Amino acid sequence: MSPILSCSKIATISHDCCLRRNSFILAHHVGIVEIMLNAARRLSPLNRLCLAAALVFAVFPILWLLSKSFMPWVEYSANPAIWVTSNLTLDNYRDVFFDYVNLMGWPQNSSWRAMVSSTIISITATFFSVCIGLLAALAISRYRIGGSFMALQILSFRMVPPIAVAVPFAIIGTTSASRSRRCC
């Protein structure tokens, strides 16, 4: 047998390997879907009840805000709260998107200028953040800027919640202020 293979034989072998690899990937994904479906079928009634309660707990504030946005101002600020209004109105949306006169009689501008300004600022800030982050990631990963621990240091700073740093600084600030008052 010749150790040299023809081009057609190599193409056939690579095609078979590719088919086997793709069928393995497809079978792997089908297996994951099957596992997920089996897990969903195994939920007990108590688990389903808890999931439904969590869903209601998560979605309720959104539905509450949506229902309040269609209420007139009198019903919106009523005490006790009115859950379902009998007269739906679009006045709140009109006040946001068009010029109007408020309850005190003062003319108010629409919110379009604020929304456009916020959109421009957020898009610009996102663009610059992504560009700077991309350059920093390139420098850290390719050129090892900052040594081998730089990525870990950045990640550890991102994982610390700001309040965990703010509370000790507030304590230091209040104790140093009280000490300076006692000295003088």
157-175 pLDDT tens trace: 888 888 888 888 888 888 8
Distance in angstroms (rounded) separating the CA atoms of residues 142 and 81: 59
Mean pLDDT of the chain: 79
**Percentage of the chain exceeding pLDDT 70:** 73
Q: What is the pLDDT of residue 154?
A: 83
Q: Which residue has the higher pLDDT, 61 or 176?
A: 61
In this prediction, residues 12-26 reach a mean pLDDT of: 51
Asked if pLDDT for residue 20 goes beyond 70, the answer is no
User: 92 or 55, which is more confident?
Assistant: 55
| Residue 177: per-residue pLDDT | 64
pLDDT band at 55 (very low <50, low <70, confident <90, very high): very high
Residue 35: pLDDT band (50, 70, 90) is low
Name residue 101's beta-bridge partners: 107
Residue given tokens 């008052």 in the structure block:
181
Q: What DSSP designation does 6 have?
A: P
Size of the chain in residues: 184
Q: Which residues contact 153 (CB under 8 A, 6 or more apart)?
A: 146
Q: How many helices (H) and strands (E) in the chain? A: 7, 2
Distances (CA, A) of 155 to 31, 107, 151, 160, 170: 34, 49, 6, 9, 24
